[in-house]
């Protein structure tokens, strides 16, 4: 079983980061550092994002011949524009008319007027100019130089003592801020695949550590099948396990079935449990979804004395207003309740989260390997009086940190041509560049890439006309795979050469999640239980943003609150374009070396021997 996190409950509620729950007032005034920030309440109804905003219309990045035509003055600006459009593609975004991409209320831009202005500005942006975007609104263009980013983005950032959910919502209600999540407001979301390999890495490592290899014959139970959580059923089956997942939104469940992330739906909780138990006994890697609240599923497992082998959760607990659905409510009832009384709704949400975590702890005591999957549900439960909420660890200290120490993390790329063949060509190139004999994670990389294909043999032989995806692309064709320091820059160079030679039809956009080895400070998630106790130190995320700007990334972002909610994280993102030019080659080398190096620096400084050995092996310059 994973070791419990070393963080104490007291460490989770410092004066400077009181619980995210909102004060019980309806007026949208901004509250300073001496206000009572522990009272539970809610914002005015105007903080709720409606289903559609003024100016809404379908948006889609160019396809076909139009995708090969430059409409901006540089491919860097063109890529930023198309990736913004891709974030709002109906195949990608959860609520595109409301500009919500994923994560409850993670938006791409603040308004449709801002969207139009950003697109117009990017089309006219000179090769030596940079667009500035403040919480989804374009606020200025400055003269820089060709190697500078074409866009700089800052989303949701507040001075620490004012960084409460109440203050954020008050500003958002006045149209002054938006919640950018991680890749929503930084224009590099690629749908559920964006988190798929990271989720696979987590469950694969869980199988290796606890079950002697993989998850064969293991029942894995979880909740939340949205933009992030929707990766879980497929990731579990890729790791050879059997998945049982609950969600209150039938639309989400059906979408995952249609996109081949979820295998089947059961008509009731008991039938879902029976089906999943039978599949696990037969060692069948298959996923079962059920329309239900995760709490009801867990409590029914307890009643029936059925103990999952693995237990986690990816409901939207980071957002008790727009994300989480309290026990006893359907999805439609929740929508009506939050609009009618946001304060009461949040109270019900956080009380339900306490009940949710108590059920997880009860199953853990019965033998389930239990971990938090980064939605801050333990913190919410702790705030509601569940003193042992942090009994089970987060997924990063339990399974992922050894990879962070090597600069490994979620490297992703997108074909601006809109042609799936371009992704197949890059997949083939990745397999050739990183052979199975190449290191401890090389076999897993090959297994992952091949598992993305319905006809892996066609990929291995380079017969791209016969390649087909195992699961559907959402929006522009894209791929993700975890690569580390010394690997990402090689991949970037290979992609740039493919563009230059014409083997792919248009430039390739290369980015990553903000959930990366050296780009985030999140004490309840990525930086939980750091060896030297620096869980809450956010200097590293700021340094990461500055390093990527200095290195020449195509656009760089710095956000607050992604994944775990306002007050609980700061994080940086970068995106760089491989357009086939020598100038791009130089930028790719710098960015894709320096960005993962920040993860090695961060973990070496914290005292991790693996990171220190990696720094020595990669000849990083660490002054002391």
Residues with catalytic annotation?
481
Continuous segment of H or E residues that includes residue 155: strand 151-155
Total length of the chain: 624
Quick count: other Cβ atoms within 10 Å of Cβ 27? 7
| Phi (first) and psi of residue 280, to 5 degrees | -65, -40
For residue 528 the two structure tokens come to 């939980």
**289: Cβ–Cβ under 8 A, 6 or more apart, which residues?**
225, 233, 245, 246, 247, 253, 256, 257, 262, 264, 265, 266, 272
Question: What is the residue whose two structure tokens read 């800052």?
Answer: 154
Q: How far apart are CA 390 and CA 409, in angstroms?
A: 25
Q: How far apart are CA 365 and CA 351, in angstroms?
A: 21
In 3D space, the residue among 183, 178, 229 whose CA is nearest the CA of residue 87 turns out to be 183
Q: How far apart are CA 589 and CA 552, in angstroms?
A: 10
Q: How far apart are CA 23 and CA 108, in angstroms?
A: 27
**185: Cβ–Cβ under 8 A, 6 or more apart, which residues?**
106, 107, 108, 109, 135, 136, 153, 155, 156, 178, 179, 557, 559
Q: How far apart are CA 150 and CA 78, in angstroms?
A: 10
- Which residues, in sequence order, are bridge partners of residue 559? 155, 571
In 3D space, the residue among 201, 164, 181, 141 whose CA is nearest the CA of residue 408 turns out to be 201
Cβ-contact 108, 185 below 8 angstroms: yes
- How far is residue 289 from each of residues 10, 248, 554, 573, measured CA to CA in Å? 37, 11, 39, 32
- Which residues, in sequence order, are bridge partners of residue 594? none
Strands 219-223 and 242-247, bridge-based pairing: parallel
**488: Cβ–Cβ under 8 A, 6 or more apart, which residues?**
407, 411, 592, 593, 595, 596
Distance of CA 362 to the CA centre of its chain: 28
Sign of CA dihedral 3, 6, 9, 11: negative
């Amino acid at each position: 079983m994973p070791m419990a996190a070393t963080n104490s409950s007291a460490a989770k509620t410092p004066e400077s980061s009181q619980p995210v729950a909102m004060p019980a007032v309806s007026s949208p005034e901004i509250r300073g550092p001496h206000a009572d920030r522990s009272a539970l309440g809610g914002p005015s109804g105007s903080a709720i994002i409606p289903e559609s905003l003024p100016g809404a219309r379908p948006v889609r990045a160019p396809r076909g011949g139009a995708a090969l035509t430059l409409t901006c003055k540089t491919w860097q600006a063109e890529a930023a524009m198309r990736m913004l459009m891709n974030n709002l593609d109906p195949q990608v975004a959860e609520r595109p008319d409301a500009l919500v991409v994923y994560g409850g209320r993670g938006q791409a831009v603040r308004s449709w007027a801002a969207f139009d202005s950003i697109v117009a500005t990017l089309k006219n942006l000179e090769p030596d100019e940079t667009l500035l975007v403040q919480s989804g609104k374009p606020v200025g263009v400055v003269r820089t130089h060709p190697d500078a980013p074409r866009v700089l983005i800052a989303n949701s950032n507040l001075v620490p003592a004012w960084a409460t959910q109440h203050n954020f919502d008050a500003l958002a209600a006045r149209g002054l801020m938006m919640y950018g999540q991680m890749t929503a407001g930084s224009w590099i979301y690629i749908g559920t695949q964006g988190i798929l390999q990271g989720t696979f890495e987590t469950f694969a490592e869980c199988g290796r550590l606890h079950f002697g290899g993989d998850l064969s014959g293991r029942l894995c139970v979880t909740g939340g099948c949205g933009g992030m959580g929707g990766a879980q059923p497929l990731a579990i089956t890729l790791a050879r396990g059997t998945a049982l997942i609950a969600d209150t939104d039938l639309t989400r469940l059906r979408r995952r079935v249609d996109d081949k992330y979820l295998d089947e739906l059961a008509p009731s909780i008991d039938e879902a449990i029976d089906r999943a138990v039978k599949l696990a006994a037969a060692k069948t890697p298959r996923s079962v979804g059920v329309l239900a609240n995760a709490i009801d599923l867990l409590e029914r497992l307890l009643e029936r004395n059925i103990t999952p082998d693995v237990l986690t959760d990816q409901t939207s607990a980071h957002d008790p207003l727009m994300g989480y659905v309290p026990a006893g409510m359907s999805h439609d009832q929740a929508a009506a309740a939050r609009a009618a009384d946001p304060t009461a709704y949040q109270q019900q949400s956080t009380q339900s989260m306490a009940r949710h975590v108590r059920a997880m702890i009860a199953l853990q005591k019965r033998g389930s390997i239990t971990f938090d999957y980064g939605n801050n549900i333990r913190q919410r439960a702790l705030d509601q009086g569940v003193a042992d909420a942090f009994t089970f660890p987060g997924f990063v200290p339990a399974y992922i940190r050894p990879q962070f120490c090597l600069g490994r993390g979620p490297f992703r790329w997108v074909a601006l041509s809109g042609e799936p063949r371009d992704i197949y060509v890059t997949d083939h190139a990745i397999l050739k560049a990183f052979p199975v004999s190449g290191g401890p994670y090389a076999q897993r990389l090959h297994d992952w890439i091949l598992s993305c294909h319905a006809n892996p043999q066609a990929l291995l032989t380079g017969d791209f006309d016969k390649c087909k995806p195992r699961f559907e692309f959402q929006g522009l064709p894209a791929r993700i795979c975890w690569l580390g320091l010394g690997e990402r820059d090689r991949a970037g160079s290979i992609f740039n050469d493919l563009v230059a030679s014409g083997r792919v039809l248009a430039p390739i956009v290369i980015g990553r999640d903000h959930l990366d080895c050296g780009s985030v400070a999140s004490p309840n998630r990525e930086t939980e239980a750091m060896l030297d106790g620096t869980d809450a130190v956010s200097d590293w995320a700021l340094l990461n943003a500055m390093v990527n700007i200095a290195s020449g990334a195509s656009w760089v972002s710095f956000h607050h609150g992604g994944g775990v909610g306002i007050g609980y994280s700061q994080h940086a993102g970068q995106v760089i374009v491989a357009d086939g030019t020598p100038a791009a080659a130089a930028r790719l080398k710098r960015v894709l070396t320096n960005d993962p190096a920040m993860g090695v620096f961060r973990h070496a400084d914290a005292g991790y021997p693996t990171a220190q050995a990696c720094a020595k092996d990669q000849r990083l310059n660490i002054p002391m």
